[in-house]
């Protein structure tokens, strides 16, 4: 009989690091906080910090992990359950609005994750697990819309990649800071481009 493996205990240093980072981010904003200040607040050496996280992007990913998983799983479930019950474009609009709400809540964390990930690994945001899963959801909906004749003649995979690019934190932060756009303004603009604009006439 095979014995189940004993779960590994949680790393107490990780919890201290995340708690320190959360406090500092809330106090000073993401950009102003250094890895050194996180280690100091957590009461550990920088070597201990860097053995667990190589940069602030990884710390942000860890802070966002639970919320991102819950959000993406919920979105994937909605898409699966709505198959054949609701027009794909109507569901795409609903998903865009939900993503805009998630980005509004976590824009700065997402932006830090994206910039650290792409800079360090020389990859694009599309290859980050969060944006990959988001892209799969959008591709599924656009492929359904194409199969149902709901959209114009366009490659659903390309349209999905373009949509994910627009749904990144960059656009949200730019529109919010430079033009004082609200979440509603931004989601309406994206819906106009990718739902109204793609609708077959």
Amino acid 116: pLDDT: 76
CATH 1.10.357.10 fits 65-196, yes or no: yes
For the segment 24-53, what is each residue's pLDDT rounded down to a tens digit?
998 998 889 999 999 999 999 999 999 999
Q: What is the pTM of this model?
A: 0.83
**DSSP codes of every residue in the chain:** -PPPPPPPPP-HHHHHHHHHHHHHHHHH-TTT--HHHHHHHHTS-HHHHHTT-SSHHHHHHHHHHHHHHHHHHHHHHHHHHHTTTS-HHHHHHHHHHHHHHHHHHHHHHHHHHHHHHHHHHT--GGGSHHHHHHHHHHHHHHHHHHHTT-B-S--HHHHHHHHHHHTSHHHHHHHHHHH---HHHHHHHHHIIIIITTB--
Amino acid 157: pLDDT: 95
Amino acid 9: pLDDT: 55
Using 70 as the pLDDT threshold, list the residues of the chain that sit under it: 1-9, 120-122
Amino acid 122: pLDDT: 67
CATH number (1.10.10.60, 3.40.50.1010, 3.10.450.40, 3.40.470.10) of 7-53 reads 1.10.10.60
Amino acid 121: pLDDT: 66
């Amino acid at each position: 009989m095979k014995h189940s493996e004993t779960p590994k205990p949680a790393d107490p240093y990780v919890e201290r690091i995340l708690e320190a980072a959360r406090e500092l981010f809330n106090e000073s904003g993401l950009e102003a906080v250094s890895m050194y200040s996180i280690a100091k607040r957590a009461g550990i050496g920088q070597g201990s910090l860097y053995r667990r996280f190589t940069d602030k992007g990884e710390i942000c990913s860890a802070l966002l992990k639970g919320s991102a998983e819950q959000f993406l799983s919920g979105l994937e479930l909605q898409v699966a359950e709505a198959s054949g019950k609701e027009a794909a474009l109507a569901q795409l609009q609903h998903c865009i609005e939900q993503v805009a709400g998630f980005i509004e809540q976590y824009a700065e964390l997402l932006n830090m994750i994206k910039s650290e990930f792409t800079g360090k690994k020389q990859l694009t945001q599309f290859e980050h697990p969060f944006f990959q899963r988001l892209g799969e959801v959008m591709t599924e909906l656009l492929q359904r819309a194409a199969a149902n004749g709901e959209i114009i003649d366009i490659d659903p995979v390309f349209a999905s990649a373009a949509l994910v690019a627009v749904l990144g934190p960059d656009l949200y932060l730019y529109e919010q800071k430079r033009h004082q756009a609200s979440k509603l303004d931004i989601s309406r603009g994206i819906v106009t481009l990718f739902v109204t604009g793609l609708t077959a006439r």
